[in-house]
Structure 1
């Protein structure tokens, strides 16, 4: 239990800007529990933005959508957006593999990275606006951040690192496939109440498979930036899925 609590603290400290003045030990056991807690941290983020959405339900949808996205980014400190920008710069450079890795390590952000950031946030804002306008059930705001972080866990555990060094590699040494399944447990309650969560897990799994294939093909493995980009991309992927359901399904057999 002590390792589990320290793992939760590590997950909160690593994934959010919430100030937690506790020094948690960095051990294989606490790292394992931290990764298992990733979706739980996502549920916490989802709870905050869900409460904000309920509080602002009488505010015009565009303003509410922008407020939700602002708090969403602020809670994570934009940590995962950096990974999206680094990958965009590397791929946009059209350079050989070795040079792409150098570009990813460069702290400077290029034009491709800025474009990726702008379009990612723009798409998220518009999709949030659309879902709010459709009066989608509140629970989706909890599930999207949680499943996005589970997608990052799945990629981290199931994809080899390109190099035997770095933060992602050090995390991998403590993990196994069981941790991917264990990380889904916080979503079990939602799945019992809203069966469509199971479908969302399957859709998130498809996204992880595609990311794994792309990263292995383009970079011969992953690093921490790619885990962060998977979290951001997974959230966007799920928002598109939800919008598609509400836009095109006249009668939903999924219970949404």
Structure 2
């Protein structure tokens, strides 16, 4: 592949990552397996932009005299807004699907329903409370700790999507975003991406690097449960994996 072709493929992949994982005005120029592969490897880059936006708003509110709690709420709201709440919606749907106790096909049908059941509501409330609680604690210590946590959690959330897209993790349905990106990333590429992200987080603090590792580990546990339960991944599973990774990373930073 020529240098020009490589740059074009990288550009297409980055567009795919931002176009599918954020609401930023980016046009997806290619919607094929090659673009999906590069896009999911570049998913942490989209997380970096989302995290920086969350940190910027939280830090700005802190400098303007707002309390740590308000800064934390703002830092949680920004990723939700920049994804149209799709990851949170996926988390709620997966909670309902897992909690239904139904066979795989019926559980997938539950997840496709537009309403949110009791399992989804409780899961959403607890996850959002945990995220706000951790960020409020860190912003209270210093705006920098809160800002770093916002960035680390957002990047970790998208890194978990890179791992969830690896070969060997099938799609549960033949259609949808899950099917579009499932099994596109080679395991070696996913591990290399994870190692790079953890290495880049290490200069921030040992806790930041550990948050990346443990956040992805928690997401992996959920991913495996979903594959066993549903037969593979869906767009909802990707959302649930991302929110699980973000929350676990934040809890690690709090401790």
Alpha-carbon distance in 2 for matches of 1:162, 1:66: 34
Q: Is the 8 A contact 2:216 2:245 kept in 1?
A: no
Counterpart check, 1:45 vs 2:50: yes
* Aligned with residue 5 of structure 1, among 11, 28, 33: 11
Describe the SS at the equivalent of 2:170. coil
Normalised TM-score (structure 2) = 0.85
Name the CA shift for 1:29/1:143 in 2 (closer, same or farther; >3 Å).
Answer: same
Counterpart check, 1:122 vs 2:102: no
Q: 1:254: which partner in 2?
A: none
Q: Is the 8 A contact 1:145 1:235 kept in 2?
A: yes
Q: 1:201: which partner in 2?
A: 212
Q: 1:176: which partner in 2?
A: 186
Q: Cα distance, 1:86 vs. partner? A: 1.0
Q: CA RMSD in A?
A: 2.2
Q: 1:100: which partner in 2?
A: 107
* Aligned with residue 251 of structure 2, among 198, 220, 240: 240
Describe the SS at the equivalent of 1:175. coil
Q: 2:3: which partner in 1?
A: none
Describe the SS at the equivalent of 2:165. helix
Q: How does 1:112-191 map to 2 (within 5 A)?
A: 112-135=119-142, 137=145, 138-157=147-166, 158-184=168-194, 185=196, 188-191=199-202
Alpha-carbon distance in 1 for matches of 2:12, 2:226: 31
Per-residue CA deviations over 1:232-252 (Å, capped at 9, x if unaligned) read: 0111111111111xxxxxxxx
Normalised TM-score (structure 1) = 0.85
Q: Which ranges in structure 1 are unaligned for 5 or more consecutive residues?
A: 245-256
Q: Cα distance, 1:173 vs. partner? A: 4.7
Runs (4+) of structure 1 exceeding 6 A deviation are none
Alpha-carbon distance in 1 for matches of 2:216, 2:74: 29
Q: Which ranges in structure 2 are unaligned for 5 or more consecutive residues?
A: 1-6
Q: Cα distance, 1:59 vs. partner? A: 1.4
Aligned residues: 243
Q: Is the 8 A contact 1:38 1:183 kept in 2?
A: no
* Aligned with residue 80 of structure 1, among 58, 81, 87: 87
Answer 1 or 2: higher relative contact order, Cα 8 Å, separation at least 6.
Answer: 1
Alpha-carbon distance in 1 for matches of 2:23, 2:175: 26
Q: Is the 8 A contact 2:41 2:185 kept in 1?
A: no
